[in-house]
Amino acid sequence: MVRIPHFIVLVAALGAAITSPAHAQATDPQRLQVAAALEAADAGRLDPAQSAALVRHPLYGWIEFAALRRDPDTITTTQAQDFLRRYDGQVVASQFRSLWLAALARRQDWPTFLAAWKPTDSLALQCAQLAARQATGRTDASWTEQAQAVWRKGAKSLPDGCDPVFTVLASQGGLPPALRWERIEAAAAERQTGVMRGAARGLPADEAALANDYAAFIDTVHARALTWPKTDRSRRMAAYGLAKLAQNDPDTAERLLPQYADALGLGEAERGQVLYQIALWTVASYGPDSARRLGNVPESAYDERLHEWRVREALSRGDWPAALAALRKMPASQLSDSRWRYFEARMAEKTGDSATAQRLFRETAGSPTFHGFLAADRVNQPYALCAWIPNDPATAKQAVARDPAIVRAMALWQLERPGWATAEWNDALSRFDDTQRRIAVEVARDNGWFDRAVFSLGSVRGESRPDEQRLYELRFPLHHGDTIRREAARHAIDPAWVAAEIRAESIFNPKARSGANAMGLMQVLPGTGAGVAQRLGIPYAGASSLYDSDTNIAIGTAYLREMEDKYGVPYIAIAAYNAGPAPTARWQSQRPGFDPDIWIETISYKETREYVARVLAFSVLYDWRLNGNALPVTDRMMGRVQAKRKAFTCPTAQMPKS
């Protein structure tokens, strides 16, 4: 943000608040040796003496595993059984077992395979176990039942090793036409036409021909479907094919739908499925037919996604009455969300119902979210924030930190083995109660593993833990303070914004890398990094430099400055940081002069739309962490940095548990 009068205050606060990880666990004196041993094991050159020196280290099992996994086909039964015995009950044993079972299946050592078998989620190994039982004469009723269960999981392609099992199952009469059609229909729903054709091979000739024609229609809509038998199955297949067509060519799908609807007698459900996709793929680009096509979709076909788009479409046209009507058609569970409650208030305000607007703003202001903060600004209320700061005894934290799986998880994380670390972490948490799980997150934070607070708090096995959302000090870590402070000062950027970007981009993981090759704390693309570094004279030695925290923050903060200079206001700069210049320019040209909150909500990319709201909300929360108060988000997103700062309060009704 530009020219910050309270900037020095923020910088001083940041220096006091942002610290390096406490590293609660003692530094491992053998860490470098373990790293070298793992690297040697990966490369197949682990020296026996090098390994022997670490035999008592908590990660010795992983060193052995790294060596064994290089060539699992040469592992002897004695070696495998010894490994499994020594590490029984540990994650490394289960990972090794999967590796070894796959090797046994390849060499068809079925008796040894069955002796080592334990249930697994791997479909490949499940099919191997069925093959082992078949090869050893154990194809009983249970075998048939389990083979059919695997078959039913095949809406998408199954491992090649399942094919011989299904061949035997079919030869024994275990794949009757009804079961084949069950898989064909499941595959059709997923648009997996290759699976449909494979499942159809054992059908009677006339049924196989029809199944193949169904698959062909889903691939490319054709006129032969007009003469299909008028069955529920044909109607479903026609709907799948037309809905798929609508995703790429909604105009053609809309033109063809009446022909197939009349010929096959499509009901409201099938027509609604196609009309849904026609409307969705039109409104997602705010095409000129968006409102009409949304109106064509039966209300019975609306889900939360389309309800949202109906609101956005009206917002994009500035049709406030239509937006309000669309909001009030949402189910109550959806409309109760702070986002939509805020926009209901905004549309009530826009249509002249000030009393309703004020009431809804006051209600929404109790939510510590982007839209809750916006609502609080509209009615000049403090921000609602009920932080939970547990006061657990030191002995409880020490006990969790000493848990063997947690010890291994922390060591593996620090050695940059995130997959193994996460496996150990999940194993530990499967045994922990809520208090232990929360304390484990603290231990992870103290070891620099910050994302555990995001992925391990708030719910357990699908059950909500809302109080854990109030663990703000865990969920919003402060780290790399000196660099953030220095670079924010250099570029006149609010350090709370920089911290929020890092939290949104990488959760403070300096080794983070996206599928698009964005790298490091602020997820900078190598091309962007090179360009910014060259323009500003920042030392840069290629893409790997972006894994250096200081370099990444220097480049990322400079790029934020460039984005704000280019777009003039932070909320558009944040959108450009995420989506790039071309989409941002399109959104600006489509909706010039729109209010910022409405412009953000009508961003067509879901990722960017939510990203902008998230970064702005995170900026408020980091301001709270730094100063105990915050620049109002309404002013923050416009770059108005001289506004009166807002206080935080915890409403009595929302007081967290102690």
Name the residue range of residue 430's domain. Answer: 394-470
Final residue of a structural domain among 446, 470, 494: 470
Does a structural domain hold residue 490? yes
Q: Do residue 406 and residue 526 come from a single domain?
A: no
Give the DSSP letter of residue 369: S
Same domain, yes or no, for 465 and 486? no
Say whether both 594 and 500 belong to one domain: yes
Final residue before a domain boundary, out of 470, 496, 515: 470
615: left (phi over 0), alpha (psi -120 to 50) or beta: alpha
Whole-angstrom distance, CA of residue 150 vs CA of residue 169: 11
How confident is the model over 403-450, as pLDDT tens digits? 999 999 999 999 999 999 999 999 999 999 999 999 999 999 999 999
Q: Based on the domain organization, do 528 and 622 belong to the same domain? A: yes
The reply to whether 121 falls in a domain is: no
400 in a structural domain: yes
Return the structure tokens found at 411: 């060591």
Catalytic residue selected from 363, 501, 505, 601: 505
Report yes or no on 636 lying in a domain: yes
Please tell me whether residues 568 and 536 are part of one structural domain.
yes
The verdict on 645 and 518 lying in the same domain is yes
- Long-range contacts formed by 603-610: CB under 8 A, 24+ apart: 603/575, 603/579, 604/284, 604/285, 604/286, 605/579, 607/578, 607/579, 608/575, 608/578, 608/579, 608/583
Q: How many CB atoms lie within 10 A of CB 605?
A: 14
Evaluate if residue 14 carries a pLDDT over 60.
no
Q: Identify whether residues 495 and 569 lie together within a single domain.
A: yes
Instruction: Tell me the CB-side half-sphere exposure of residue 431, using CA atoms within 13 A.
Output: 12
- Does residue 335 sit within a domain? no
Is 72:102 a contact under the CB 8 Å cutoff? yes
Q: Reply yes or no on whether the pLDDT at 656 is more than 60.
A: no
Residue 442 and residue 585 in one domain? no
- The pLDDT assigned to 320 comes to 98
**Alpha-carbon dihedral sign for residues 600, 601, 602, 605:** positive
The band of 6, judged by pLDDT with boundaries at 50, 70 and 90, is: very low
Position 642 scores a pLDDT of: 84
Are 606 and 538 spatial neighbours (Cβ–Cβ below 8 Å)? no
- Residues 506, 586, single domain; the answer is yes
What does the pLDDT look like over 306-339, one tens digit per residue?
A: 999 999 999 999 999 999 999 999 999 999 999 9
> What value, to the nearest 5°, has the Cα angle with vertex 90 and ends 112 and 66?
75
Q: SS3 for 524?
A: strand
Would the pLDDT of 10 be above 60? no
Contacts of 266 by beta carbon, 8 Å cutoff, 6+ apart: 235, 238, 239, 260, 274
Q: Are residues 452 and 590 in the same domain?
A: no
Q: Are 552 and 546 in contact (CB under 8 A)?
A: yes
Please tell me whether residues 635 and 508 are part of one structural domain: yes
Both structure tokens of 543: 């893409």
Contact of 340 with 334, CB cutoff 8 Å: yes
Does any domain span residue 344?
A: no
- CA–CA dist 559, 567 (Å, integer): 12
Q: Could you tell me if residue 236 is inside a domain?
A: no
Indicate left, alpha or beta for 369 from its phi (over 0: left) and psi (-120 to 50: alpha): beta
Q: Count of CB atoms within 10 A of residue 241's CB?
A: 27
463 three-class SS: strand
Q: How many angstroms separate the Cα of 375 from the Cα of each of 314, 326, 355, 603, 608?
A: 21, 20, 14, 20, 21
Residue 653: predicted pLDDT: 54
- CB pairs under 8 A, 24+ apart, for 598-603? 598/315, 598/346, 599/571, 599/572, 600/571, 600/575, 601/312, 601/315, 601/339, 601/343, 602/286, 602/312, 602/315, 602/316, 603/575, 603/579
Res. 101: pLDDT tops 60: yes
Which tens digits make up the pLDDT trace of 128-160?
999 999 999 999 999 999 999 999 998 999 999
Domain total in the chain: 2
Annotated active-site residue 505? The verdict is: yes
**pLDDT score for 7:** 32
Q: Calculate what percentage of the chain has a pLDDT beyond 90.
A: 91
Residue 170 has pLDDT above 50, yes or no: yes
The CATH number of the domain where 619 resides is what? Answer: 1.10.530.10
Encoded amino acid at 408, one letter: R
The pLDDT tens digits of the residues spanning 576-587 come to: 999 999 999 999
Given a cut of 50, is residue 117 above it in pLDDT? Answer: yes
- Give a yes or no: residue 356 inside a domain: no
Q: What is the pLDDT of residue 21?
A: 44
Give the dihedral of Cα atoms 467, 469, 472, 476; nearest 10 deg: 160
Give the residue, 5 or 453, on which the prediction is more confident. Answer: 453
